[in-house]
């Protein structure tokens, strides 16, 4: 049957009736609808069969991920590197089989000895003759991750992370402590209430003192960490402010190595004046007053002052100082300090009482009496006992919460271990393996026949 692709010959018959025209128009409409439906369905089919869109990796051309050589600490980082690489090649590496074949080239060292039999089984045998583990790995990337973690991962990683979490303490900034805590907490399945209690225990005492004043947020651990980090930053700024204040008013905290020129010059002038005052003589030594004649002449110094007005405190005579006194050195009067202070015997008991009170306050035991002088000692001790009981109740509550979390964790670990032992026992059972192979073949046969 030949096909004519040229234009149709013109119609030379009798003119069609109205009914025939209506029928032809309806037929044309049906044809247009059919063609439009085919056009709408074609782009979806084209995308499913294969897209011509370039992968992002073809434009960026990133290097190959670092290979995996069997180190336990590199299991999670290696899987993360591979997932990131797959994101760059969504079109080329769009099936589990393609991903595994690409990953096989990056498995080296001890890990290669483990994966090589699985890869050889996949390449040399048909699908129905492959081992069940081989099929599971090459048909699902998650199964490969599980197998890799079981073979090379840290044994009981969750328990190890929990132990590190309980021993973690804040030694530097609260932000660094929070980042490490969050990393370890992601490997456990503890709830936020237990994590907040452990997080609080690892903080510095000064951060605890401020954080304890506020209630724990209902939003969870993230908000609690934010509160602690803000407190730690404010305390750091305050400590820096105190240090800057001790360095002087002309110290700039934003530019600690620079000083204002005017202040620096002024200080130099002041220092020069002070040095000059020590070297230049006046009528009253280093105090201000009328300058003696010839005091600024070269060769004059403080030894040439008028010694007739200088009194020796050793012999109470004028004309020399105590260090040059010819009389024997007198013993120091024990009451000289009281005479200088102007104290009398009636004032000594008051001073002794104040000193004793100050010592009590410094000891820290009855410090409340200094802050609340109107209260009695019994009232202060009752208040301290009440606060201590409240703190003890809070500690017992936190301990109970932690115990519940630990029991929940132990029960879950026991269940995992039991399932793992049961699975290992079944794998060693020949009858179980035969049943699994028969079931697998039956499912494969149904899949090929299109049965549910």
**How many Å apart are CA 444 and CA 448, to the nearest integer?**
6
**How many Å apart are CA 93 and CA 226, to the nearest integer?**
40
Q: Per residue in 315-332, pLDDT tens?
A: 888 888 877 888 888 776
Look at residues 77, 54, 72 and name the one whose alpha carbon lies nearest to residue 110: 72
The CA angle 50-51-52, to the nearest 5 degrees, is 125
Buried b (16+ CB within 10 A) or exposed e, 204-217: beebbebbeeeebe
Helix (H, G, I), strand (E, B) or coil at 259: strand
Number of neighbours of residue 112 by Cβ within 10 angstroms: 16
Q: Per residue in 245-303, pLDDT tens?
A: 876 655 555 455 554 444 444 444 444 444 444 444 443 444 444 444 444 444 444 44
Tokens of 133: 């583990």
How far, in Å, are 81, 165, 207 from residue 171 at the CA level?
Answer: 31, 14, 12
Q: Residue 116: what are its φ and ψ, rounded to 5°?
A: -60, -45
| CB contact at 8 A, 92 and 98 | yes
Give the start-to-end residue ranges of the domains of the chain. 57-152, 159-247, 384-446
Q: Residue 322: which residues within 8 A CB-CB, separation 6 or more?
A: 312, 313, 314
Q: Is the pLDDT of residue 4 over 80?
A: no
Q: Is the pLDDT of residue 377 over 80?
A: no
Number of neighbours of residue 130 by Cβ within 10 angstroms: 19
Q: What is the pLDDT confidence band of residue 28, given thresholds at 50, 70 and 90?
A: confident
Whole-number mean pLDDT of the chain?
76
**How many Å apart are CA 203 and CA 287, to the nearest integer?**
55
CA 12 and chain centroid, separation: 88
Q: What is the pLDDT confidence band of residue 21, given thresholds at 50, 70 and 90?
A: confident
pTM for the model stands at 0.38
**How many Å apart are CA 427 and CA 34, to the nearest integer?**
56
Q: Residue 28: what are its φ and ψ, rounded to 5°?
A: -65, -40
Alpha helices in 202-258 (DSSP H): 205-211, 221-247
**How many Å apart are CA 14 and CA 235, to the nearest integer?**
102
Q: Per residue in 178-226, pLDDT tens?
A: 999 998 998 888 889 999 999 999 999 999 999 988 888 888 899 999 9
Q: What percent of the chain lies above the pLDDT cut of 90?
A: 28
Number of neighbours of residue 285 by Cβ within 10 angstroms: 13
Give the dihedral sign, CA 240/207/176/70.
Answer: positive
Contacts 24+ apart (CB under 8 A), 375-383: none
User: In this predicted structure, which of 2-16, 73-87, 232-246, 385-399 has the lowest mean pLDDT?
Assistant: 2-16
**How many Å apart are CA 91 and CA 48, to the nearest integer?**
11
Look at residues 47, 149, 66, 157 and name the one whose alpha carbon lies nearest to residue 108: 66
């Amino acid at each position: 049957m030949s096909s004519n692709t040229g234009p149709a010959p013109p119609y030379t018959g009798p003119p069609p009736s109205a009914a025939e025209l209506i029928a032809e128009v309806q037929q044309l409409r049906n044809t247009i609808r059919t063609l439009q439906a085919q056009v709408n369905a074609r782009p979806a089919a084209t995308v499913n069969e294969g897209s011509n869109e370039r992968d992002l990796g073809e434009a960026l051309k990133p290097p190959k991920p670092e290979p995996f050589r069997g180190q336990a600490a590199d299991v999670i980082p290696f899987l993360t590197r591979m997932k990131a690489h797959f994101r760059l090649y969504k079109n080329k590496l769009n099936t589990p089989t393609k991903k595994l074949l690409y990953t096989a080239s990056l498995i080296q060292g001890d890990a290669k000895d483990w994966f090589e039999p699985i890869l050889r089984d996949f390449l040399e045998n048909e699908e129905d003759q492959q081992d069940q583990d081989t099929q599971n790995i090459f048909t699902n990337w998650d199964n490969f991750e599980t197998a890799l973690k079981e073979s090379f991962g840290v044994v009981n990683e969750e328990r190890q992370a929990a132990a590190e979490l309980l021993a973690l303490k804040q030694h530097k900034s609260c932000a660094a402590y929070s980042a490490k805590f969050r990393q370890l907490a992601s490997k456990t399945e503890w709830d936020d209430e237990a994590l907040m209690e452990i997080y609080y225990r690892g903080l510095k005492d000064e951060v605890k003192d401020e954080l304890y004043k506020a209630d724990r947020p209902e939003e969870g651990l993230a908000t609690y960490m934010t509160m602690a980090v803000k407190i730690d930053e404010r305390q750091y700024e305050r400590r820096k402010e105190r240090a800057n204040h001790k360095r002087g008013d002309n110290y700039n905290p934003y530019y600690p190595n620079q000083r204002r020129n005017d202040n620096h010059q002024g200080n130099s002038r002041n220092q020069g004046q002070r040095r000059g005052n020590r070297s230049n003589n006046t009528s009253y030594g280093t105090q201000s007053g009328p300058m003696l004649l010839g005091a600024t002449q070269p060769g004059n110094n403080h030894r040439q002052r008028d010694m007739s007005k200088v009194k020796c405190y050793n012999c109470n005579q004028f004309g020399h100082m105590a260090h040059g006194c010819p009389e024997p050195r007198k013993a120091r009067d024990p009451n000289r300090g009281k005479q200088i202070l102007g104290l009398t015997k009636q004032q000594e008991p008051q001073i002794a009482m104040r000193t004793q009170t100050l010592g009590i306050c410094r000891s820290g035991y009855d410090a409340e009496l200094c802050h609340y002088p109107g209260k009695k000692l019994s009232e202060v001790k009752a208040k301290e006992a009440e606060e201590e009981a409240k703190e003890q109740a809070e500690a017992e509550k936190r301990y109970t919460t932690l115990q519940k979390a630990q029991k929940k964790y132990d029960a879950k670990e026991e269940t995992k271990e039991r399932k793992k032992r049961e699975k290992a026992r079944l794998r060693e059972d020949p009858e179980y393996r035969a049943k699994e192979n028969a079931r697998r073949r039956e499912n494969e046969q149904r899949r090929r026949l299109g049965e549910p």
